[in-house]
Amino acid sequence: MTPAKAQVAVSVNLNIQPDWGPSGYDYVEYYYLPEIDVYFDVVNKRYVYWENNAWVHKSKLPSRYANVDMNKTYKVVMNNKNPWNSHASDKAKYSKYAKDRSQVSIKDKKKNTKKSKKK
């Protein structure tokens, strides 16, 4: 009888996630933002949204999203390639989080950690 060998692959990309991303995730490929119906590609730092009958990939959001507080808007972590291919399902499943402000951002978590260390 030969001993079983296990291979474990661990990926971490916490250092490239934006400060406005949700805390608690070591690895993220995309966020889906139900409030504005937009995806964010964490690795390439690009927003993906529907415009002129196609999914576009841009480094900045259009001005129509200028009032969105990225620290407060809810983000759904998605670790699958091209999540917009299941957009209809994502929109139906996550639209209930469009006004949810309960999620703690990486930035807020860092602030709270620093405050608790000072006490």
Phi, psi at 57, each rounded to 5°? -120, 115
Q: In what order do the strands lie in the sheet with 46-51?
A: 54-58, 46-51, 38-41, 30-33, 76-78
Write the pLDDT tens digit of every residue in 52-64. 999 999 999 999 9
Query: How many domains are contained in the chain?
Result: 1
Query: What gap in Å lies between CA 7 and CA 18, rounded to an integer?
Result: 30
Is residue 114, in this structure, part of any structural domain at all? no
Q: Is residue 8 part of a domain?
A: no
Structural tokens at position 57: 């990939």
- Asked if the structure places residue 62 within a domain, the reply is yes
| pLDDT single digits (tens) 31-80 | 999 999 999 999 999 999 999 999 999 999 999 999 999 999 999 999 99
Q: Supply the pTM of this predicted model.
A: 0.83
Is 111 within the bounds of a domain? no
> By residue range, what is the domain housing residue 48?
25-102
